[in-house]
């Protein structure tokens, strides 16, 4: 809605002596004069009005981004009776992401009413991208979560040698993994994740979306449980 019109409309509503015929006869010059006077006389109301408009816009943008995120085929841990979905944005070179991995898996086992979506968001280095694409490629052999856990548990350098070593340990067909790694669909998933993160102003990892709230930074298992409880009460 045009801000100028919104302010003037609020003005008309708040001044009861205005009648339709008078409002109809106002020309643009008179409107501008009234608006200026109204702004000077009611700065707090104008501030609150603009804040409300920004909040409404922010909520609308969040809902739109979340709806688009739901359409991206990111790996998921699903519970049939789930009433809360957790989205985790992570990077395999992120130490804080590594620290929350066990909590995420534990919560899914403990709470049968949550879904967890793993949002590959490689932003820290080139090897982060290699790891993300490799993990998505492992998903085609139904090994994503095992591969994910191995990479997250690793504390050293991530390179091709490590990728193939993990693949061998998990009995993943390495030639098929290489073939799937080259599939541009995987890069499309990552680029869409990056786009959503940008729209939501998510700049670092880890970051969680729990229900309808963004929680930036690492969270303990108890913190995530509290956030889930809060979202369920809404």
List per-block mean pLDDT (blocks of 10 residues) for the chain, which spans 234 residues: 53 48 58 69 61 60 94 96 96 97 95 97 97 98 98 95 97 97 97 97 96 94 96 90
> Top-level CATH class of 72-233?
alpha beta
DSSP letter at 175 equals H
pLDDT at residue 58 in the model: 72
Adjacent-strand bridge partners of 89:
119, 207
CA atoms of 91 and 170, how far apart (whole Å): 21
Residue ranges per domain, the chain? 3-63, 72-233
pLDDT at residue 125 in the model: 95
> Tokens representing 230?
């809060």
Question: By three-state DSSP, how is residue 140 classified?
Answer: coil
- Pick the closest to residue 30 from 61, 8, 15, 46 (CA basis): 8
CA atoms of 207 and 189, how far apart (whole Å): 18
Tokens 């395999």 -> residue: 92
C-alpha distances (whole Å) from 29 to each of 2, 33, 36, 203 are: 17, 6, 11, 45
Angle at alpha carbon of residue 148, lines to 145 and 153, rounded to 5°: 125
CA atoms of 125 and 51, how far apart (whole Å): 38
- Pick the closest to residue 132 from 115, 116, 151 (CA basis): 151
Question: By three-state DSSP, how is residue 217 classified?
Answer: coil
Residue 28 burial (10 A CB sphere; 0-12, 13-18, 19+): exposed
pLDDT at residue 26 in the model: 54
DSSP letter at 206 equals S
Angle at alpha carbon of residue 153, lines to 159 and 209, rounded to 5°: 100
pLDDT at residue 63 in the model: 92
Question: By three-state DSSP, how is residue 117 classified?
Answer: strand
pLDDT at residue 174 in the model: 96
């Amino acid at each position: 809605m045009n801000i100028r019109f919104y302010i003037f409309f609020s003005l008309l509503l708040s001044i009861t002596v205005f009648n339709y015929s008078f409002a109809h006869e106002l020309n643009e010059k008179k409107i501008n004069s009234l608006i200026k006077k109204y702004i000077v006389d009611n700065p707090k109301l104008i501030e609150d009005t603009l804040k409300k408009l920004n909040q409404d816009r922010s909520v609308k943008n969040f809902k739109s981004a979340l709806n688009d995120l739901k359409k991206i085929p990111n790996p998921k841990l699903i519970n049939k009776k789930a009433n809360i979905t957790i989205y985790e944005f992570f990077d395999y070179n992120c130490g804080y992401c590594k620290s929350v991995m066990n909590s995420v898996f534990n919560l899914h086992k403990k709470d049968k009413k949550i879904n967890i979506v793993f949002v590959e968001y490689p932003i820290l280095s080139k090897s982060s991208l290699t790891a993300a694409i490799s993990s998505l490629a492992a998903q085609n052999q139904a090994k994503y979560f095992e591969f994910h856990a191995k990479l997250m548990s690793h504390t050293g350098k991530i390179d091709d040698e490590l990728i193939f070593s993990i693949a061998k340990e998990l009995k993943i067909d390495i030639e098929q993994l290489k073939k799937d790694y080259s599939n541009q669909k995987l890069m499309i998933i990552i680029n869409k994740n990056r786009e959503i993160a940008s729209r939501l102003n998510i700049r670092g990892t880890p970051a969680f979306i729990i229900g309808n709230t963004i929680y930036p930074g690492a969270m303990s298992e108890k913190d995530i449980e509290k956030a889930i409880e809060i979202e369920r009460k809404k």
